A and B are shown apart, each in its own frame.
Chain A
Amino acid sequence: MRSRIHFALFGLVAAVIAVQQVTAYTGSEYYLTQLTMSAYYSLVIVGLCLLMGYAGQISLGHAGFFAIGGYISAFLTTHDLSPLKDGGIVAFLSKAGLLSQRTDLYGGQLLTVQPWAACIIAIFATVVIAYIVGGPVLRLKGHYLAMATLGFGTIIYRIAIGTTALGAADGLSDVPPFRLLPFLEVSGEMSDRVQNYYIAWGLVILAVLFSLNIIHSRIGRALRSIHGAEDAANAMGIDTARYKLNTFVLSAVFASVAGVFLTHYNGGIGPSEASIMKSVRYVAIVAVGGMANLWGALVMGTLLNFLSLRGYLGTYDDAVFGGILIIIMLFVPQGLLHIDVFRGLRGFFLRRPAEKET
């Protein structure tokens, strides 16, 4: 088992490198832009896959966590603090080296929070919010859980679109690059494209590695037992509530990190990132990949986001996602990579029970 996982991971790394080499060779490096963006969305999806597939809890509000990360770091790194320069807190922050001075496009001086500090604050905020929300929400089941997470997502969307400080419907722009290391920077500049591709995919690979370790550990087995039969798991002495909550927080952090990085890469964020449709898309992709199939989710996440971001789906973008959701859930609820279409089709035409739910 172990060696197979390592083999697969190695394959992923090889694929990431191979794609970059091919684009460099064919002079089509512009594909890396969309591949980089897709990678960040895939990060959200890997987290959601852990939550939905392994812990069996649906979340229709994951775009909310993405937006929390993105908006907090965008706000902190663009909000000019210079009018408050002499105030106590700002002076303290400045001494602690958490602020940075830069010139904007038109020569104005801006004093803002350092991207690193903003990133850490954003993630910390996400953890706190996820614990506060997750505690009561995860006690719910079925429709109530779906509705509660949908409600959470809607609240975040409403706050993003209703708050003037967050740019209301226009969102925030002019977010500065995020200098990870002296020679490594998350930014949308064309010259930084290759390194950004590797930053994004490096992050995804790390997340996958981490998730696989969880899945194949005691925690993973506990999670799957929750999905299978929560009461039985409880009876066996597994603290199901704690496992569920921790998985929820972890997946929220994945989403938030993706939000922070993509916001720096895009140089801004808008309320569309927090919309319900975005959350539904994430769920759709996890469903297509196969609920408890990290690799499937990753593949589909990359593929579908890539197609969408390149505009291949045209004005049918949302319709395609809706259609995919239905078809997959009707015929292959185990995900596309568990193809059993013929049985499903037979069930449809013969009007016979297709298969038992697991």
Chain B
Amino acid sequence: MNFDLFFQYIVAGITYGTIYAVVAIGFNIIYNATGIINFAQGEFVMLGGMTAVTLLRYLPLPVAVLAAMIITMLVGGLIEILFIRWLYKPSVLRMIIITIGLSILIRETALHIWGEGVKALPYFTGTSVSSIKLGGVFISPQVLWVVGISAVMVALLNVFFSYTITGRQMRACSVNRDAARLCGINAKNMVTLSFMLSAAIGALGGCIVSPITYVQYDSGTPLAIKGFTVAILGGLGNSVAAVAAGLVLGILESFSIWVMPAAYKDVISISILLLILFVRPSGLFGSKEAGDLKEF
């Protein structure tokens, strides 16, 4: 394998990895606030992409993306209020099943609204054929958009959780909900907020990757499985680690096709997930003690 080729694979891996990481961050936000894994996270990504494509007919691209984020955010909030907010200390099993049910319902609704066809937003800059040549390596401008926007997003999230009152309140809820409530934080609103935030992030992710991956009514679930893998790989709840884990998995996947048929690519990533679960459930980057303390 020559040098250029090696880097071409790295670039491919970074593209996959960033996409997975965006989904994983959505998982983490809800997990942090509620201890729930939202199996419908992939559907938020799909909804964002689909809505933006539809709105593009009437609005310019940046406005359409923003509007799609807001709409998906409202859907996320609505889902939380209707299906989760009023449950009293639901068991993990029950929450898993409810969110799986939601994911199926959203997907089937999307099928009946948008039909079965593939859709895509146009490239933010340039076209599907343009690429930037760095040495012998070709990079699509959209990849730079995806990486750039994701980086900004992670940075903003960090600022939000560290420096704003609301962000700190959400963190407080994740550490100890009862104590947070005693301090006068409305824990229920924080949960709703976390759903809205993660829906918006999912939608943004769906918009920025849709020129590369396309979007279809059923494209949410495969993304959710990958995102979930990455979230666990990085250690549930840790968004910065999720980005790192996403890149690791993406690059592994892109190199895996040298050694085995591409059709088994998913088998590799999921086997890694299972191994991690068995050996080090706190994730690659999570601390063991913290992992043990988490309630499941």
Contacts and interface: CB of A to CB of B under 8 A. Distances in A.
Interface in A301-358: 315-316, 318-319, 321-326, 329-330, 333, 347-348, 351-357
A143 B296 contact: yes
A154 B109 contact: no
A325 B98 contact: yes
B97 interface: yes
Contacts of B93: 52, 56, 58, 142
A152 B86 CA distance: 33
Contact of A357 (B90, B112, B271, B278): B90
A325 B94 CA distance: 10
B270 interface: yes
A271 to B, nearest CB: 12
Contact of A326 (B102, B228, B236): B102
A151 interface: yes
A155 interface: yes
Interface residues of B, number: 44
A146 B232 CA distance: 12
B96 A326 contact: no
A280 B104 contact: yes
Given A315-B111, A323-B101, 6 more contacts: A147-B273, A148-B277, A151-B274, A155-B270, A318-B108, A353-B88
Interface string B237-280: 00000000000000000000000010110110011011001100
A140 interface: yes
Contacts of A329: 94, 97-98, 101
B87 interface: yes
B34 to A, nearest CB: 12
A58 B96 contact: yes
B37 interface: yes
Contact of B108 (A150, A158, A319): A319
B91 A357 contact: yes
B99 to A, nearest CB: 9
Given A136-B278, A322-B101, A162 B270 contact: no
B105 A142 contact: no
A161 B263 contact: yes
Interface of B: 37, 83, 86-94, 96-98, 100-105, 107-109, 111-112, 221, 225, 228-229, 232, 236, 261, 263-264, 266-267, 270-271, 273-274, 277-278, 281, 296
Interface string A44-82: 000000001000101010000000000000000000000
Interface of A: 52, 56, 58, 60, 136-137, 139-144, 146-148, 150-152, 154-155, 158-159, 161-162, 276-277, 280, 283-284, 287, 315-316, 318-319, 321-326, 329-330, 333, 347-348, 351-357
Contacts of A348: 86
Given A158-B267, A329-B98, A140 B88 contact: no
Contacts of A140: 277, 281
B96 A357 contact: no
A284 B94 CA distance: 11
B86 A347 contact: yes
Which 9 A/B pairs are nearest by Cβ-Cβ distance?
A322-B104, A142-B296, A325-B101, A353-B88, A162-B263, A319-B108, A326-B101, A136-B278, A142-B92
B104 A318 contact: yes
Contacts of A56: 93
A225 B37 CA distance: 26
A158 B263 contact: yes
A325 B274 contact: no
B104 A333 contact: no
A352 B88 CA distance: 8
B225 A150 contact: yes
Interface centre among A52, A147, A161 (most CB of B within 10 A): A147
Given A144-B232, A144-B281, A158-B264, A351 B83 contact: no
A97 B281 CA distance: 48
